[in-house]
Amino acid sequence: MLKSLNTFIFGLSPEERVRKWQSHLRREQRGLDREIRQLDQAVTRTKTSLKQVAKRNDTKSCKILAKEIVRSNKQKERLLSSKVQLNSISMQLSSQLSTMKVTGSLQKSTEIMKLSSSLIKLPQLSSTMNQMSQEMMKAGIMDEMLQDTMDANDEEDGVEEEADEEVDKVLTEITGGKLSQIGSVTNQPLPDVENNQAEQNNDEELERMQKQLDGLLRG
């Protein structure tokens, strides 16, 4: 009761603030873990579909699915990197508590500011990192961050080439390493489709999978 009253009057102590921030960081890490698992499951399903359309020599669908796999892999890399950065902030905060025993207060940290500035760009973490950054500025740990603008073209860098590689990799697996005997699917012409209904069904399934992956990539 006394602790609650003190908190109401004086606010959280530095130790309580740090523990609260670390709790938020752990929660966000668990959220990223869930997204990574969902991405892995979606990529596995997409690879299965890619193998099926590759057997039909459907170049257009192969390329579309391969691009989705590449984008998903890039997103997974970003999420894994963000998990590491979240853990780094938590460790920096633990160090702050140790330093506070000597100095009596929380100290400014350029490392926490740099990590927070990077993480705030990720849509999944933007809200939490914005709030924490404001609280950390009030606590004297960091100055106001300058928001860097993200290049919209960064996401597409290398996707075409990596998509071609993904298609060839799957074809190599399907043909038991004998890809050279049939040539790269990326160099094959689109086949004539005799069954319009089958083509329509394939397009509908492809569109459904794209929407599912797009939802995961947007977070």
Structural domain contains residue 84: yes
Q: Looking at residue 86, what is its pLDDT?
A: 96
The answer to whether the CB of 170 falls within 8 A of the CB of 50 is yes
**Domain membership flag for residue 205:** yes
CA separation for the pair 53, 35 (Å, rounded): 27
Residue ranges for the chain with pLDDT beneath 50: 1-10, 149-153, 179-183, 188-198
**Residue 1: inside a domain, yes or no?**
no
Q: Does any domain span residue 103?
A: yes
Give pLDDT tens digits for 36-85.
999 999 999 988 888 888 888 787 888 888 888 888 988 999 999 999 99
Identify whether 121 is part of a domain.
Answer: yes
CB 141 within 8 A of CB 14: no
61 located within any domain: yes
d(CA 107, CA 100): 8
Domain of residue 41: give its range. 12-148+155-218
Residue 2, Cβ density class (10 Å: 0-12 exposed, 13-18 middle, ≥19 buried): exposed
Q: What total number of domains does the chain contain?
A: 1
- Residue 41 domain-assigned (yes or no): yes
Q: What is the DSSP string of 84-131?
A: HHHHHHHHHHHHHHHHHHHHSS----HHHHHHHHHHTTSHHHHHHHHH
Q: Is residue 160 part of a domain?
A: yes
> What pLDDT does residue 155 have?
53
Q: What is the pLDDT of residue 50?
A: 83
DSSP 142: -
pTM for this one? 0.72
Burial class of 65 by CB neighbour count within 10 A (0 to 12, 13 to 18, 19+)? buried
